[in-house]
């Protein structure tokens, strides 16, 4: 049994929409006030304020005249906002994330989380606390038989669409698989597999992206604060939503297929690259897709009892010959294929994917940390996170000054380990 979120669109009545908008506003306010209180306590008095303390603050705020309106919405989403802040701080103190930032009215995701005490689930109808009518959910796919949600998250995206996500227990049927595969993230093709298969971007993406650029230019021409500007912004948000929806759908199909076919999947940790600020649109989009893809692989491999290996980012996957292990001197990005001294000609990305697979298999043979340790995929991670996993095993021989023309250098990192064939 695994916990699984099922997300649906819904169409609120005008009253429900107003009530939810008010709830989102209160959630944001409580989150920001608690963040401010915690920041001040630390900077002024070097005191750490924990979740319980912020919870007591919330109770006090509700009693004041100017914040009495907090009582008008369900109290659970407000408490959950404090819990989310606590998680953000825990991640910050563990050096997994940056310092929490204030939620913005325009930029932040509008959402509210309800636990079982704050909603009613009866005969497949969901009613939130303080409401009489159930939500008008469009059941685009059925919930698992007999499922009953333990947490409900309501949100609205920047294109104005409403979503409800239901966290349910679901049964996963074990399906045996024997395959092993290495995956390389690319720019030209979305992903390249060690089998030689190249997976391209979703079909409509190029056209959608052109439409996005057009909508953005149009927005830039509109006068600030005008009604036309608001309209143009919504147009941009809609195109954006279409792109991310199609991409997510594409990545879900891919990750499901890979997990179904393979027992072991090896990917590269691109955290360091992702941390760099990037103004290249294509690169930014591909990085976002990669993060999303990795998260999907993480939970799907967990569900199906598969092994996901994340090889470290120092590994020179593009420069290493996957046939003989020789290391090429330089490999600028425009080089799409190259021939090694051993006369093997490589497609750059396929070669990288093969190296990633071999590296991953040697990690398993060495008994290194196999499953990546990431408690929450929602939080941004710093590159420090993955390091303790493998102290030296991933350092290829050439870094230690050994003969790079010897046996494949990745094997040198494995003390007495025998590589699986
Ligand atoms: Zn070679």
Tell me, in angstroms, the distance from the centre of ligand 1 to residue 317's CA: 13
Contact 61, 33 (CB under 8 A): yes
* Residue-level pLDDT at 260: 93
Kindly indicate the confidence band of residue 291, based on its pLDDT and cuts at 50, 70 and 90.
Answer: confident
Tell me, in angstroms, the distance from the centre of ligand 1 to residue 338's CA: 10
* Residue of 184, 208, 287, 359 marked active site: 184
Q: What domains are there in the chain, each with its CATH number? A: 2-170 (no CATH), 179-202+242-412 (3.30.420)
Q: CA torsion angle for 398, 403, 408, 409 (degrees, to 10)?
A: -30
CA-wise closest residue to 148 among 172, 174, 115, 112: 115
132 in active site: no
Q: What is the mean pLDDT of residues 190-200?
A: 90
**Residues flanking ion ligand 1, Cβ below 5 Å:** 321, 323-324, 326, 340, 342, 344
Tell me, in angstroms, the distance from the centre of ligand 1 to residue 186's CA: 22
Inform me whether the pLDDT recorded for 17 exceeds 70.
Answer: yes
Tell me, in angstroms, the distance from the centre of ligand 1 to residue 354's CA: 13
Rounded Cα distance, 104 and 201, in Å = 32
Question: Which conformational region is residue 70 in: left (phi greater than 0), alpha (psi within -120 to 50 degrees), or beta?
Answer: alpha
Tell me, in angstroms, the distance from the centre of ligand 1 to residue 328's CA: 9
Tell me, in angstroms, the distance from the centre of ligand 1 to residue 326's CA: 5
Contact 192, 198 (CB under 8 A): yes
Rounded Cα distance, 242 and 215, in Å = 13
- Which residues pair with residue 320 across a beta bridge? 327
Query: Which residues touch 370 (CB under 8 Å, ≥6 apart)?
Result: 307, 308, 309, 363, 364
Which of the 8 DSSP states describes residue 12?
-
Digit-coded pLDDT (tens) for 356-385: 999 899 888 876 544 444 433 333 333 333
Digit-coded pLDDT (tens) for 24-51: 999 999 999 999 999 999 899 988 899 9
E strands, 45-199, where? 110-115, 119-122, 125-128, 151-156, 162-170, 179-185, 191-193, 198-199
Tokens of 140: 């685009």
Contact 412, 357 (CB under 8 A): no
Q: What is the mean pLDDT of residues 54-68?
A: 95
CA-wise closest residue to 34 among 10, 73, 67, 71: 67
Which pTM does this prediction carry?
0.73
Tell me, in angstroms, the distance from the centre of ligand 1 to residue 402's CA: 17
349 in active site: yes
Inform me whether the pLDDT recorded for 201 exceeds 90.
Answer: no
Inform me whether the pLDDT recorded for 214 exceeds 50.
Answer: yes
Tokens of 297: 């692989």
Inform me whether the pLDDT recorded for 194 exceeds 50.
Answer: yes
Helix, strand and coil percent figures for the chain, each rounded to 5 = 45, 15, 40
Tell me, in angstroms, the distance from the centre of ligand 1 to residue 138's CA: 55
Alpha helices in 12-74 (DSSP H): 14-45, 51-63
Inform me whether the pLDDT recorded for 227 exceeds 70.
Answer: yes
Contact 361, 307 (CB under 8 A): no
Digit-coded pLDDT (tens) for 403-412: 333 334 444 4
15 in active site: no
Inform me whether the pLDDT recorded for 264 exceeds 70.
Answer: yes
* Residue of 205, 269, 298, 349 marked active site: 349
* Residue-level pLDDT at 413: 43
Tell me, in angstroms, the distance from the centre of ligand 1 to residue 407's CA: 11
* Residue of 19, 205, 208, 268 marked active site: 268
Question: Which conformational region is residue 108 in: left (phi greater than 0), alpha (psi within -120 to 50 degrees), or beta?
Answer: beta
Tell me, in angstroms, the distance from the centre of ligand 1 to residue 329's CA: 12
Better-predicted residue by pLDDT, 142 or 285: 142
Digit-coded pLDDT (tens) for 310-353: 987 667 788 889 998 888 878 777 888 889 889 889 998 899 99
* Residue-level pLDDT at 193: 94
* Residue-level pLDDT at 197: 93
* Residue-level pLDDT at 283: 65
CB atoms within 10 A of CB 256: 14
């Amino acid at each position: 049994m695994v916990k699984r979120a099922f997300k649906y669109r819904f169409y609120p009545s005008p009253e429900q929409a107003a009530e939810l908008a008010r709830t989102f506003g209160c959630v944001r306010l409580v989150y920001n006030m608690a963040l401010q209180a915690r920041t001040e306590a630390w900077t002024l008095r070097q005191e750490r304020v924990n979740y319980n303390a912020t919870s007591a603050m919330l109770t006090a705020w509700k009693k004041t005249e100017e914040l009495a309106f907090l009582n008008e919405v369900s109290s659970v989403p407000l408490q959950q906002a404090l819990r989310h802040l606590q998680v953000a701080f825990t991640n910050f103190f563990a050096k997994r994330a940056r310092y929490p930032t204030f939620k913005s009215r325009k930029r932040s995701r509008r959402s509210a989380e309800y636990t079982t005490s704050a909603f009613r689930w009866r005969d497949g109808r969901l009613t939130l606390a303080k409401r009489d009518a159930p939500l008008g959910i469009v059941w685009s796919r059925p919930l698992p038989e007999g499922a009953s949600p333990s947490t409900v998250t309501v949100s609205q995206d920047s294109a104005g669409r409403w979503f409800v996500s239901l966290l349910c227990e679901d049964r996963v049927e074990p399906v045996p698989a024997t395959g092993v595969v290495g995956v390389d993230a690319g720019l030209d093709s979305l992903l390249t597999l060690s089998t030689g298969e190249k997976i391209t971007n979703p079909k409509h993406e190029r056209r959608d992206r052109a439409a996005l650029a057009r909508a953005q230019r149009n927005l830039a021409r509109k006068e600030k604060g005008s009604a036309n500007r608001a309209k143009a912004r919504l147009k941009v948000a809609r195109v954006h939503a279409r792109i991310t929806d199609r991409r997510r759908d594409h990545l879900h199909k891919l990750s499901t297929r890979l997990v179904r076919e393979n027992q072991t999947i090896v990917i590269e940790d691109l955290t360091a690259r992702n941390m760099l600020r990037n103004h290249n649109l294509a690169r930014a989009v591909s990085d976002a897709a990669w993060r999303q893809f990795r998260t999907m692989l993480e939970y799907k491999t967990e569900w199906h009892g598969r092994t996901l290996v994340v090889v470290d980012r120092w590994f020179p996957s593009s420069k290493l010959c996957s046939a003989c292990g020789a290391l090429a001197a330089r490999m600028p990005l425009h080089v799409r294929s190259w021939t090694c001294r051993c006369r093997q000609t490589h497609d750059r990305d396929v070669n990288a994917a093969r190296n990633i697979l071999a590296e991953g298999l040697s990690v398993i043979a060495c008994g290194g940390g196999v499953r990546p340790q990431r408690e929450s995929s929602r939080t941004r991670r710093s590159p420090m996170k993955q390091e303790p996993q493998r102290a030296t095993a991933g350092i290829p021989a050439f870094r230690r000054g050994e003969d790079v023309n010897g046996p494949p250098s990745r094997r040198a990192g494995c003390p007495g380990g025998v590589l699986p064939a």
